[in-house]
Amino acid sequence: MNYLFSNRMSGLQPSAIREILKMSSDPSVISLAAGNPAPEAFPKEEIAAISQEILTNNPIAALQYSLTEGYPALRDTLKDFVASRYGIGKSFDELIVVSGAQQGMELTCKVLCNEGDTVICEDPSFIGSLNSFRSYKANLVGVEMEEDGMNMAALEKAVDANPNTRFIYVIPNFQNPTGKTMSYEKRKALYEIAKARHLIILEDNPYGDLRFAGEDIPSIKSMDTEGIVIYVGSFSKVLAPGMRVGYLVGHQEIVAKIIVAKQCTDVHSNILAQMICHEFMTTRDMAGHLQKLKAIYKHKCELMLGEMDKHFAKCVTYTRPQGGLFIWCTLPDGVDMVEFCTRAVKEYKVAVVPGSAFSIVEGTPTQSFRMNFSTPTDEQIIKGIEILGKMTHEL
């Protein structure tokens, strides 16, 4: 049968990251391509104990239908957390629990964008969010990244050239894929640009609690006096991505629409997982757990960077992130980046992600690739970087 798919989905292609992960499923391949938390970072025993407590003492609440807005106790705890940690929460704000931060991106686009409306994004940016926006036939416009975030002059030009812009999407902390952090000055400038033009900012912060160097920078949402910033956080990188628990904070009128949109999607997010998150935050040592994560990722990042400093050719440049999970490498002009990444996995059994996977305009040439330091073991990092280093000297 000749299957006909909707216009909304017909243009979407499988994520290049997923395709590379298929190749890296070979046990002999050293994968520096994933974006998963470190296996040793999962609080397995605590989650097991909490799950047993809930299913023994309060099983019906965990197994029954619940509120679209989320488990009330978790929502209250999260409101306190984002207020104390990120200065988030005005009288006009509301919070909804979503099925991972990814759903927050998808629902935001669903309620704000008509087909053909423009979404302005950092270029490069997270492929999952980009595909969510593409699925609603949004017109994606990229703004080049500098070392401290979006180029603000280019952002103003992009906004002025696209009067149908609905929102600006940014990952200000340890951005995926580049690992870069937006400076305080640029966060303020971004907010003022959006405020002057009556635009929404979608602030995606899945990595903010994984800062292991440098000083915290105020969230963009903490500057929000007009109700124009939608903030999305997640438990995926700090507890467990498989539980699919995230949260969104925005003006109550926007959240009200998102609640209705979510009811059409999944009624509510997994309640047992929400109860586990709540119990972990309120009855376990959440602060100590986050410190453990920071120590793990600080060690892994410093190990990878140290090996890169030792083995990579000087013609290759790379970011030095202060948190998160990723390092962004750039090859010299004239080098075929896709061929480099393909040879790495096929001939040398080391997987990295081509930078083209994160381009706003699909197929845009790039000289960069993304590496992940959280998932591989120390031994895999050392061996994988040595192999890639030899490849860079062949350039």
Contact assessment for residue 187 and residue 218, using Cβ atoms and an 8 Å cutoff: yes
At 17 the pLDDT is: 55
At 343 the pLDDT is: 93
Give φ, ψ of 204 to 5 degrees. -100, 120
Show the tokens assigned to 307: 């090996």
At 55 the pLDDT is: 97
As a dihedral over the C-alpha atoms of residue 298, residue 299, residue 303, residue 305, rounded to 10 degrees, the angle is 0
Listing from the earlier edge strand, what are the strands of the sheet with 149-150? Answer: 93-98, 246-251, 229-234, 200-204, 165-170, 118-123, 139-146, 149-150
Burial of 42 (0-12, 13-18, 19+ CB in 10 A): middle
Contact assessment for residue 216 and residue 82, using Cβ atoms and an 8 Å cutoff: no
Query: What is the rounded distance in angstroms from the CA atom of residue 8 to the CA atom of residue 134?
Result: 8
Low-confidence ranges of the chain (pLDDT < 70): 10-25
Domains of the chain: 13-43+288-393 (3.90.1150.10), 44-283 (3.40.640.10)
At 15 the pLDDT is: 58
Query: What is the rounded distance in angstroms from the CA atom of residue 190 to the CA atom of residue 158?
Result: 13
Three-state DSSP string of 291-339: HHHHHHHHHHHHHHHHHHHHHCCCCCEECCCCECCEEEEECCCCCCHHH
pLDDT in tens, 155-164: 999 999 999 9
pTM confidence score? 0.95
At 61 the pLDDT is: 96
Contact assessment for residue 141 and residue 158, using Cβ atoms and an 8 Å cutoff: yes
pLDDT in tens, 215-271: 999 999 999 999 999 999 999 999 999 999 999 999 999 999 999 999 999 999 999
Query: What is the rounded distance in angstroms from the CA atom of residue 66 to the CA atom of residue 262?
Result: 13
At 26 the pLDDT is: 77
Report, in this order, helix, strand and coil percent for the chain, each rounded to 5: 45, 15, 35
At 5 the pLDDT is: 76
Helix (H, G, I), strand (E, B) or coil at 233: strand
Show the tokens assigned to 348: 């040398």
Measured CA to CA in angstroms, residue 262 lies from 72, 114, 257 at distances of 17, 17, 9
User: Which residue from 150, 232, 235, 236 is spatially nearest to 193, judged by alpha carbons?
Assistant: 150
Query: What is the rounded distance in angstroms from the CA atom of residue 354 to the CA atom of residue 348?
Result: 16
At 12 the pLDDT is: 65
